[in-house]
Structure 1
Amino acid sequence: MSWQAQVIRALAHRVSRPALRRQRDPLAARARFERFARRSLRVPPGTLDLPGRAGGVPGLWVSNRPDDSGVIVYFHGGAYLMGSPRTHLPLAAELARRTGARVFMPEYRLAPEHPFPAAFEDAEAAYDGLLALGHSPESLVLAGDSAGGGLALALLARLCARGLRPAGYVGFSPWTDLTLSGASLVTNASRDQLLPGHRLTEIRAMILGGATPQDAMDPRLSPLHAEFPAPPPVLIHAAQTEILRDDALRMRGRLPRAEIRLAGDLPHVWPMLFNWLPEARDTLDDTARFIRRVLAPEAGS
């Protein structure tokens, strides 16, 4: 572990995790996340970001020296309650810089104002909108982190069933099982640097709105329970000590050929900290190689 990772671990345990444990108001949580991103995460030089729409869904187009390599459709994390294309602009821009692809980040609707299945409906509409704009499925890569990583996987299952599978999928610490049955929710409860596991039942209730906990098995919300006929290449990163570790590992049961890579004692969605963590930069190097490889046939066509 790098010295930077050790410093971040200490800060997370003393500051970030206690703050998330106390935070009950989604609006306040959103504002806090936006402030953190604005003050702590740097956008790489040469980045261009422009608002846009796809399928009626607003979003943000991000590029950094694009070379017509395709489009990464990135779904931000935030437990379906917070986060936005702006909080994830630095990460999206870094992916664009490393791959030559453009990134489109849909601004999907958030709970509790817009409970399930609003986020999924927006995700599918945005993808269909990109196809209507002339992008082929082979030129698109789905990606996301945490809840956004689960959302992208749920969309991937739907697209495989529709015969519109993209070139690939990348997930950072995806939340894939809102039935909350993963063993690491318990075994890593004291080790996770960021997420307070005891809050997940409360968060799930806000996501579901008037639905019942049994509805959490819906594959549009829990892709661990989805089918993936003829899936494209899949790459998933997770940390050994995070509570969502098993949400990533158990996807092997649905995607036997997926590349699932475990890092060590790192915070949830550590690639966002690429400005600070060498481990984050290593993960993004690996991710960029994967994205360039799955988009290579399209780039050469």
Structure 2
Amino acid sequence: MSLTRRILNLWLRWTEKPMLARAQDPLALRRAFDRKAGLLFRAPRGMAFRRAPIGGVPATHLSGPTGAPVLLYLHGGAFIMGSARTHRALAARIATGAGLALCLPEYRLAPEHPFPAAPEDALAVFDALVAQGHRVVLGGDSAGGGLALSVLAEILRRGGPAPLGAFAFSPLTDLGFSGASVRDNAGSDVLLPVSRIHDIVDLYLPGQDPADPRASPLFADFNGAPPVWLTASDTEFLLDDTRRMAARLRAAGVDVTERIARDLPHAWPLFHGFLPEARQTLKALDGWLNSLSSSSAGN
């Protein structure tokens, strides 16, 4: 494992995790995430991003090769923060690495817009892309990874065109936080404080059932789903959200790729600009996405 990983883990444990544990104002957290992302997560110069609403939702877009599928990427941030600013560098790296176009929507955030605003917005964007004739790949990280999976399940439930596949980094798939790793990895997780999980539920799901499949895709039906690629770190407290999600998908007959990494922070591909392990993860995802695109082009 790299020296950069060790330094990053120490920095997150001693600065970011305590900050997340004591922060009280979700709007201040949102502003801080945007500000830090501007320093840490930079897209390469010359990328021609454009902003335009789609399906009534603000979004950032990046063109791809003619006829290429579109990556519909749903950013993380515990449903209360995150934006195109925080995630466009990662989303653009994934899209360009796999020869895809990109759509990065800014779905509505809690507490101003609690559940089901986020899945409603994500579905509206997916429907608009399909109506424009695009083939779509769903992806996301953390809360956005769980959102991508819940959107996939809702697409399957209602019928109609499905995405080519879906992937997620460290997805939040159970807002009941019932996985054993929530307890077992509370200390080893270098970024996320377990003490705040109930605050997330209170802000995003006030008075609602965390077992609703639109909120917690771990409880959704995935019969007939396209291939799914999942990854998580063995030290993060959401580890079992990925392990149990992979098991549920396999039980439904889905082609699942599950990669459990060693001692990396939650949603580590965000740090691909300087973390070797993040670049390795993204290279593995590139191969999977390229195989998806090749298979769909041959059909």
Give 2:61's aligned residue: 61
Identify the residue that residue 91 of structure 2 maps to in structure 1: 92
Counterpart of 2:241 in structure 1 is 247
In the alignment, which residue of structure 2 is the partner of 1:146? 142
Counterpart among 169, 173, 181 of residue 172 in structure 1: 169
**Could you say which residue in structure 1 is the equivalent of 2:294?**
296
Q: 1:266 aligns with which of 247, 264, 267?
A: 264
2:33 aligns to what?
A: 33
Which of 277, 283, 286 aligns to 2:284? It is 286
Q: Deviations over 1:185-206 (max 9, x none)?
A: 1000000010001100111111
Quote the RMSD (CA, aligned, Å): 1.3
What TM-score does the superposition give when structure 1 sets the normalisation length?
0.95
* Greater Cα shift, 194-203 or 160-169: 160-169
1:222 partnered with 2:220: no
Q: Write the mapping of 1:15-34 to structure 2, written as runs, cut at 5 A.
A: 15-34=15-34
Q: Determine the C-alpha separation between the residues in 2 that align with 1:246 and 1:3.
A: 27
Superposed CA offset, 1:35-81 (max 9, x none): 11101112124422111222111111024x63543110000000000
Partners in 2 of 1:152 and 1:278 — Cα distance? 26
Aligned residue identity for 2:148 = A
- Say whether the 8 Å CA contact 2:91–2:102 is kept in structure 1: yes
- Give, as a single letter, the amino acid of the residue that structure 1 aligns with 2:78: A
**Greater than 2 Å deviation, 4+ residue runs:** 65-69, 297-301
Q: Distance in 1 between matches of 2:23 and 2:110?
A: 15
The number of aligned residues is 294
Corresponding letter in the other structure for 1:208: L
How far, CA to CA, are the matches of 2:41 and 2:205 in structure 1? 31
* C-alpha contact (below 8 Å) 1:195/1:268 kept by paired residues: yes
Where does the alignment leave 5 or more consecutive residues of structure 1 unmatched? none
SS of the equivalent of 1:134 reads coil
By how many angstroms is 1:300 displaced?
Answer: 4.9
CA contact (8 A) 1:44 1:93 kept: no
Matched residue of 2:108: which SS?
Answer: coil
C-alpha distance 181-293 of structure 1, shift in aligned 2 (>3 A): same
- Describe the superposition over 1:202-246 as per-residue Cα deviations: whole angstroms up to 9, x where unpaired: 11111013x24xx11000000000001211010001000001000
Which amino acid counterpart does residue 176 of structure 2 have in structure 1? T
The separation in 2 between residues aligned to 1:249 and 1:202, in whole angstroms, is: 24
Q: Which amino acid aligns with 2:267?
A: V
Structure 2, unpaired ranges of 5+: none
What SS does structure 2 have at the residue aligned with 1:174?
coil
Cα distance in 2, alignment partners of residues 122 and 259 from structure 1: 27
SS at match of 2:195: helix
Secondary structure (helix, strand or coil) at the match of 1:88 reads helix
Q: Does 1:74 align with 2:63?
A: no
- What is the rounded CA distance, in whole Å, between the counterparts of 2:164 and 2:90 in structure 1? 20
